[in-house]
Structure 1
Amino acid sequence: MNSNKIPVIAIFDIGKTNKKVFLFDQDYQIVFEQSATFQELLDEDGDSCEDLTALTGFVLRTLQKINDIEEYELKAVNFSAYGASFVYLDEQHTPLTVLYNYLKEYPIHITQQLYAQYGGECSFALETASPPLGSLNSGLQVLRLKKERPELFEHVAYALHLPQYLSCLLTGIPTTDITSIGCHTALWNYEIHQYHQWVFDEGLDKLFPAQYSFDTVFDNTLSSSGYLVGTGLHDSSAAVIPYLLKFKEPFILISTGTWCISLNPFNNAPLTAEELGQDCLFYLSYVGIPVKASRLFGGYVHEQQAKRIADFFGVSISELFMLKKDEHLLQCVRNRSVSSDLNAFSKVNLQNFESPEQAYHSLVYHLVRSQAQSTRLIIDSERVSHLCVDGGFSDNDIYMQLLAQEFPTMKVYAASMPQASAIGAAMALHAHWNNKKLPQNLIHLRHIIDV
């Protein structure tokens, strides 16, 4: 092996829209990246679904391309992917169905029967930490296949979440990862820390391979180059890994995008019915510890209402996003009755505002009030002293300043960490490919001080 080659790890970061691959050097700097998008297919019901063949081809072709790059020595491969969909394999590891969309409408009669058999909807949701979300409760997708396509189901040898299917492509070893199983799948009983009884009663446990720890690696079977392969991680759980490794004090992470998800790795108190009713749930961390989370559709509402403001006042959305906090405008907003209901601003008449700046300050104020209410659901302890915001809202001055005002006893940070899910998946295998210490400066933090 040429000692002048740069040791790297390849991470496939598979999102619903964009499929990316990154090569990280031993300092976790990106030295190569490539992305692809694929046209969705239609399943047998005419619903859109992932093109699994195209995705498989992308992974295999890209790995071959990376192997052919002379300056890099590929030491390991891992996967970060959305996990709310299953791939069904036969004994030869051949996919038997399309990769069904987790937004596919779910037959209500199947869930009604399941809930009735296992203590009712609320009890079932509390035990599995899975709000009733239809196909987003990915375990119910497996049950649906058994109920609706029994002749095909008989040939299913393995049911793998997407990250583990991609790993199996390279190793030939089917695995189960706790971060995928533990994420609103309705499969895991958080009270007894194993699969829920319904999984055994339906015989689904036989389809789920053995669980392996987050840092497990296997030899690849596709290449003689000798790189190791991880078992893959659910993307949301992978994104928290860099923060867990950086912070020694208890913290909350608000990951902002279309959904704004508040994650508290230091709160594993059982879910209450009230919390569940307000869209709280559990994730399982990469070491199997429950992470209490709350969700808010804040990014979507922000996008829709900012467009409404821009259209009404004849300005560009980008102008609104770049606004700095104006205390005078905020005082005008505070003098009005502002609800913490996320959708309250959509009912506000824009003619009540003197300018687009005033309207936008009002919108963000509404959003932050809603976000603060959502985040407080999972705090549960005065020990939490740090609050980090990553994603789109971390660059929004008005949002961050108002959030700091909502949590005056905490240190509030705008966090910048591009490709957090991919870096988390790389860090999970650090000991297997990297002889350097983990760098401490990967997350760029900007302390928000109210001014």
Structure 2
Amino acid sequence: MSQTVAVLDIGKTNVKLALFDHGRLLWEKSAPNSIRPGPPYPHEDVESAWRFFLDALREAARAHRISAIVPTAHGAAGALIGEDDLAAPVMDYEFADVDAIEPDYAALRPPFSETLSPKLPAGLNLGRQLAYQKWRCPELFANAKHFVGYPQYWSWRLSGVAVSEVTTIGAHTDLWAPRQGQVSSLVKALGVGHLLQPMRPAFDPLGPIKPDIAAACGLAPDTPVFCGIHDSNASLLPYLVSRQAPFTVLSTGTWVILMSVGLSLDQLDPRDDTLANVDALGRPIACGRFMGGREYAMIAGSGGNADLGAIERVIASGAMALPCFCGQGGPYATTEGVVRGEVAARDRAALATLYCALVSDLMLTRMGATIGDLIVEGTFARNLPFCMALGALRPAQRVFAAKDAAGTARGAAMLAQWPPSYRIAEPGPIDSISIAGLDSYHKAWTATVDGIAR
């Protein structure tokens, strides 16, 4: 039976509406996401995104009968909701002034052993955002009735039902204890338990779309709105139902999120920005993260596309990109990135590709993800030299690349029929190759970064 699922995909960089039927992409439209400068702090431009989604739903509904709606959104964002609107703007997680509350927040933050959530800069710990809003914006905070993750803000706006969901509340927020499967001690210490809503699975239908939205967009009044999911966990869903553990998914975009299924959590170290996220079934997953997409762009500049020959030229030159170029994410977030050596403009993309492969390899090793397949999805899945370099760095593991860039939205669409009854598209295997000089270059790069103080 045909079922057309509309996915609201709210990324850090772009917002997108995508329609799927049994995993097949039917239609999509996207627009840039934006951050408003404040007051009271830099925040998500939710109203521009909302107008985009209404217009896109209206356009899509003229061509397809939409059977369900599922939201997915980036992590480290949450919404304080009042009676019928936001009580406070949705904070941009890059708002650095959140650091001003660190001494007071540090006294409340649970230990890493409880939350498996490392101390992260700016607002990347959602619990710290909440503390800032409570302590620095008390008038706004006092109007809040609910606090929900960002995907669930959109499901609330569409359906009127406010809920919590574990992939979002468990994504380095300090608010969740993954091993115990319950909220952390921070919730009580911060005094926000009354704002958290009942936990619902990502694949739960919350109710029909609001009648006025259905009428405005030309949707059936009984169109169900599903709970929704953290975007990196949406990327993981197709492989949870199609692969045997252990395996690792590299979800790539603005961030590179490395999610290892079936591996121990014992090697996680907050100094490495390794942590536990939680999958859609509530299970803790060993993860690592660095801002690979943004770092790639900063290193590559306008250097065109990488190819294997360009990577070998960079290796032969001895030039190296050393972390970190964006000030957040990964083991060396507090170190200023630098390029050592001379690199021709045409080879900058190759240098960036090699850098992202080396950081991915480093984090996989530190996480203990030394066995099982590696599946690259998202932006870097289209960067064949990245996939080939990663495979050459880790010859004991097979590397696969997803065949399109719609992995996040496609995974989210599965929630409307969970578990899916249709066949999941398999990623393509990457041929094993040898890259001239890579072994020596890898050893030299690793020795250099191992010497960087953290």
Q: What TM-score does the superposition give when structure 1 sets the normalisation length? A: 0.82
Q: Which residue pairs with 2:357 in the alignment?
A: 368
Q: Kindly state the Cα deviation for residue 240 of structure 1 after the two structures are TM-superposed.
A: 0.9
Distance between the aligned counterparts of 1:8 and 1:212, measured in 2?
Answer: 23
1:416 matched residue in structure 2 = 403
1:376-420 Cα offsets, whole Å, 9 max, x none, are 122356xx3211222333343443333222211111223323211
Q: Is the 8 A contact 1:305 1:346 kept in 2?
A: no
Structure with higher Rg: it is 1
Alpha-carbon offset, residue 299 of structure 1 = 3.5
Q: Give, in whole Å, the separation in 2 of the partners of 1:169 and 1:327.
A: 47
- For the structure 1 residues 15 and 338, does the alpha-carbon distance in structure 2 shift closer, same or farther, using more than 3 Å as the test? closer
CA distance in structure 2 between the partners assigned to 1:369 and 1:210 by the alignment: 41
Amino acid at match of 1:110: I
User: Residue 296 of structure 1 aligns with which residue?
Assistant: 290
2:45 paired residue number: 51
Report the RMSD for the aligned CA atoms in angstroms: 3.0
CA deviation after TM superposition for structure 1 residue 364, in Å: 4.6
- Aligned to 2:250, which of 254, 264, 270? 254
Residue 253 of structure 1 contacts residue 389 of structure 1 at CA under 8 Å; is this kept in 2?
yes
- Tell me the CA shift for residue 264 of structure 1: 0.4
Q: Does 1:101 align with 2:92?
A: yes
Tell me, yes or no, if structure 1 residue 74 matches structure 2 residue 66: yes
2:394 counterpart of 1:407: yes
CA drift of 1:326 comes to 7.1
Residue 231 of structure 1: CA displacement?
0.6
2:368 aligned with 1:379 = yes
Aligned to 1:444: 427
Amino acid at match of 2:96: E
TM-score for both structures, normalised by structure 2: 0.81
TM-aligned CA deviation for residue 365 of structure 1: 4.4
Residue 200 of structure 1 corresponds to: 188
Determine which of 308, 315, 324 is the counterpart of 1:324: 308
Provide closer, same or farther for how the CA distance between residues 386 and 431 of structure 1 changes in structure 2, counting only shifts above 3 A. closer
1:158 to 146, 160, 164: 146
CA–CA separation in structure 1 for the residues paired with 2:279 and 2:70? 17
Taking a change above 3 Å as real, the CA distance of residues 375 and 410 of structure 1, as seen in their structure-2 partners, is same
Q: What one-letter code is carried by the residue in structure 2 that aligns with 1:378?
A: M
Secondary structure of 2:96's aligned partner: coil
Which of 96, 103, 110 matches 1:112?
103
Change (3 A) 1:226 1:328: closer
Offset of residue 162 of structure 1: 1.7
Alpha-carbon offset, residue 247 of structure 1: 1.6
Gaps of 5+ in 2: 215-219, 326-335, 435-454
> 2:265–2:285: 8 Å Cα contact kept in structure 1?
no
1:27-53 deviation digits (Å, cap 9, x = unpaired): x222222223465433224x4322223
Look up the match of 2:24: 29
CA change 1:241–1:117 in 2 (3 A) is: closer
1:387-402 equivalences under 5 Å are 387-402=374-389
Provide the residue aligned with 1:265 in structure 2.
261
Could you say if the C-alpha distance between residues 407 and 159 of structure 1 is closer, same or farther in structure 2, counting changes exceeding 3 Å? Answer: same
Please state whether the residue corresponding to 1:170 is helix, strand or coil: helix
Aligned length: 415
Aligned to 1:147: 135
> How far apart are residue 328 of structure 1 and its match?
6.7
Shift of 1:360: 6.5
* Secondary structure in structure 2 of the residue aligned to 1:390: strand
* 1:157–1:342 CA distance, 2 compared to 1 (3 A): closer
1:167-223 deviation per Cα after TM superposition (whole angstroms, max 9, x unaligned): 112222111010110001111123433112121133211101100112211331324
1:212 aligns with 2:200: yes
Of 214, 239, 246, which residue of structure 2 is paired with 1:243?
Answer: 239
**Structure 1 residue 337: Cα displacement:** 9.4
Deviation at 1:330, TM superposition (A): 7.2
Say which of 398, 416, 420 aligns to 1:429: 416
